Copies of this chain bind each other. A is one copy, B any other.
Amino acid sequence: MAKSEYKTRPRNAIIKYLQDHPDTRFTARDILEGIGGAGAEADRSTIYRNLERLCQEGVLVKYKETDVNATCYQYSGEHGSCHDHMHGQCAECGRIFHLENGILADAAEKMESEYGLAIDYGKTVIIGLCRDCRKKAEKKIRKRSGSTS
């Protein structure tokens, strides 16, 4: 993997942030604030440039979401380039799951025969609610029941 050539303070700060947030999505702004605000450890443009590079190197995954008005990134960790599996994501907390492709095998067959659509596992992201967020949601509902705001 052709990694970056130099190790600089801004880059180290960014990479540290990524490793500290292995299972969450984040935006350029999150990093900017996470490493201590503008001008602290890295400039905004530097962050964008590094994120772009890290994506090309396969360290990060890049995607967009309807309800987030910015490009989202996620550390791909030991999962490398993410070519051999697909992703699931919690709509609530943004946590990403690495799912084996086989899990969609049956559905893929049906989809191809009935609709003609051949799944691209690398690009598909299954959206749902993770266990933790479902529990939280249940608690909220329980609290609400009885009070009509």
Copies in the complex: 2
Stretch touching chain B among A17-25, A29-37, A40-48, A123-131: A123-131
A76: min CB distance to chain B, Å = 14
A120 to B90, CA, bound (A): 9
Q: Is A38 an interface residue (CB 8 A)?
A: no
- How does the 8 Å CB contact mask read for A116-136 relative to B, with 1 for contact and 0 for none? 111110011111111100100
Selected from B99, B117, B127, the residue in CB contact (under 8 A) with A124 is B127
Contact across chains for B129 and A115 when beta carbons are under 8 A apart: no
Q: Name A residues whose Cβ lies closer than 8 Å to a Cβ of B.
A: 62-66, 71, 88, 90-91, 97, 99, 103-104, 106-107, 110-111, 114-120, 123-131, 134
